[in-house]
Amino acid sequence: MSRPRVVVAGLGDSGLLTAIQLARTAVDVVGISSKPGLVSGQELGLRLARPEAWARDYRIAFDRFRRLDRVEIVHGELTGLDREARSVAVGEQTIRYDVLVLATGVSNGFWRRPGFQTEADVSAAVEQAHARLAAAEAVLVVGGGAAAVSTALQAATRWSGTTVRLAFPGERALPRHHPRVWDVVRRRLAAAGVELLAGHRADVPDGFAADEITGGPVAWTTGQPQTPADAVVWAIGRVRPNTAWLPADLLDEAGFVRVEPTLRVAGTPDVFAIGDVAATDALRSSARNRADRLLAANIGAHLAGRRLREFAPPRRRWGSVLGPEADGLRVFAPSGHPFRFPAWSVRRVLQPWVVRRGIYGGVRTP
Ligand SMILES: Cc1cc2nc3c(=O)[nH]c(=O)nc-3n(C[C@H](O)[C@H](O)[C@H](O)COP(=O)(O)OP(=O)(O)OC[C@H]3O[C@@H](n4cnc5c(N)ncnc54)[C@H](O)[C@@H]3O)c2cc1C
């Protein structure tokens, strides 16, 4: 008897982990990705300021993951879903599934785009953005989330002669984190020389999708004079779910995939969703909360006719905000308390043992 086939649509942070978990179970796994490997959307600041250091941990070719050896990878862009035929379209190709996992994530700024890319395309995009910031005398980062904050800090510590400003609309940035996180982050930004422009809401030109690094100046709807800049990084949280290829009845009003707490798509027993595309909770936090293990177990339960378990998200954002610093990596708990992994332990313990061995189950050196 042939084994059930599970197709994972999108192999970013959460699709990749789901495929890795599924590969250990009695199913055949096919992963479909528009990228040639993992190109994580995490740690934007590090990616812009130190692209080689970022690539070491966040850009990893699929054939380096040992647990993907049993997974068939299709490098292409999904264009359609036929639920009756239980198949997805990847250009001209039709791929049949018994269970489908939707993990196509969201588009955000210039650094998370869903389109097809080769290794050379990814390298060129990363290098171009880095060069743009490296050449700037004044960098303006617009936005108040983790991507904006990490960009400001990493740019200021990488290029000490560059003026770096961070503009955000509220009194404080990181409104979705515990207030304690901002207390720590504000001090780190000040120590790095970042100029904070609180209460600045950018006047975003009509039709501008905020998906490229632009030149200045930037005007404010909050009344302040324009701010000049050689490079403006727009990290204003305009996320768009990558769901244009899916039937509208699977989606909520904002275009995210409607899921039950079990991560099953409402009313569609053989389709599941995970990661930023899945409307699990207000913060859509199933990626960082490692729901991939639950999802793989639920797919097994679905195939065996057993009951599914539910995902229980925390109410506040947690995790790394600033990215790796000279003294290590700060990870904030949902309570806002930071835990700092010293720099030596990030290189010698956290990345090789916790992430590569523990989370990914083994990554070959390039
Ligand atoms: C272990 C882990 C730790 C984390 N830690 C933190 C943290 O400390 N701080 C923090 O802020 N966040 C953290 N996150 C969360 C992170 O910010 C995002 O939530 C996560 O990157 C989202 O993953 P995703 O798979 O949903 O999306 P993505 O990683 O964007 O993956 C989606 C993939 O699908 C592809 N795709 C899109 N459309 C198509 C198509 N039509 N055809 C083919 N492919 C397509 C995209 O190109 C992309 O490769 C963490 C996540 C994980 C897994």
Ligand 1 center–CA 169 separation, angstroms: 26
Tell me which long-range contacts 205-214 makes (C-beta under 8 A, separation of at least 24).
209/238, 210/109, 210/234, 210/236, 210/238, 211/107, 211/109, 211/110, 211/113, 212/110, 213/110, 213/129, 213/132, 213/133
Residues 223 and 337 in one domain: yes
What pLDDT score does 314 carry?
A: 84
Structural domain span for residue 152: 130-236+324-343
Whether 41 lines ligand 1, by a CB cut-off of 6 Å, is yes
Distance CA 301, CA 269 (A): 12
Residues 96 and 69 in one domain: yes
Distance CA 90, CA 80 (A): 7
Ligand 1, atom 27, residue with closest C-alpha: 105
Ligand 1, atom 7, residue with closest C-alpha: 319
Name, in order, each residue with C-beta under 8 angstroms of 101's C-beta and a sequence gap of 6 or more: 6, 7, 8, 9, 15, 18, 271, 272, 273, 274, 295, 299
Ligand 1, atom 29, residue with closest C-alpha: 12
Q: Mean pLDDT across the stretch 310-326?
A: 93
Residues of the chain with pLDDT > 70, as a percent, come to 100
pLDDT band, very low/low/confident/very high, at 128 (cuts 50, 70, 90): very high
Whether 146 lines ligand 1, by a CB cut-off of 6 Å, is yes
pTM across the whole model: 0.96
What pLDDT score does 316 carry?
A: 86
Q: Report the amino acid identity of residue 25.
A: T
Residues 210 and 257 in one domain: no
Residues of the chain with pLDDT > 90, as a percent, come to 96
Residues 221 and 332 in one domain: yes
Q: Which residue among 73, 276, 331 has the greatest number of ligand 1 atoms within 8 angstroms of its CB, and so is best to mutate?
A: 276
Residues 270 and 309 in one domain: yes
Count up the domains in the chain and report the number. 2
Q: Which residue among 33, 259, 288, 317 has the greatest number of ligand 1 atoms within 8 angstroms of its CB, and so is best to mutate?
A: 288
What pLDDT score does 43 carry?
A: 96
pLDDT per residue as tens digits for the range 215-270: 999 999 999 999 999 999 999 988 999 999 999 999 999 999 999 999 999 999 99
Residues 167 and 260 in one domain: no
Encoded tokens for 342? 């010293």
**What value does the mean pLDDT of the chain take?**
97
Q: Mean pLDDT across the stretch 145-160?
A: 97
CATH of the domain at 161: 3.50.50.60
Residues 296 and 329 in one domain: no
Residue 122 domain-assigned?
no
Distance CA 66, CA 223 (A): 55
Q: Report the amino acid identity of residue 229.
A: A
pLDDT band, very low/low/confident/very high, at 2 (cuts 50, 70, 90): confident
**Cα-based distances in Å from 279 to 22, 75, 301:** 22, 26, 22
What pLDDT score does 258 carry?
A: 98
Whether 145 lines ligand 1, by a CB cut-off of 6 Å, is no
Residues 353 and 250 in one domain: yes
Ligand 1, atom 23, residue with closest C-alpha: 13
Whether 33 lines ligand 1, by a CB cut-off of 6 Å, is yes
317 has a pLDDT exceeding 90: no
CA torsion 165-169-174-177 (nearest 10°) is: 170
161 has a pLDDT exceeding 80: yes
- Distance of alpha carbon 224 from the chain centroid: 32
Residues 67 and 179 in one domain: no
pLDDT band, very low/low/confident/very high, at 28 (cuts 50, 70, 90): very high
Residues 198 and 328 in one domain: yes
pLDDT per residue as tens digits for the range 280-309: 999 999 999 999 999 999 999 999 999 999
Whether 42 lines ligand 1, by a CB cut-off of 6 Å, is yes
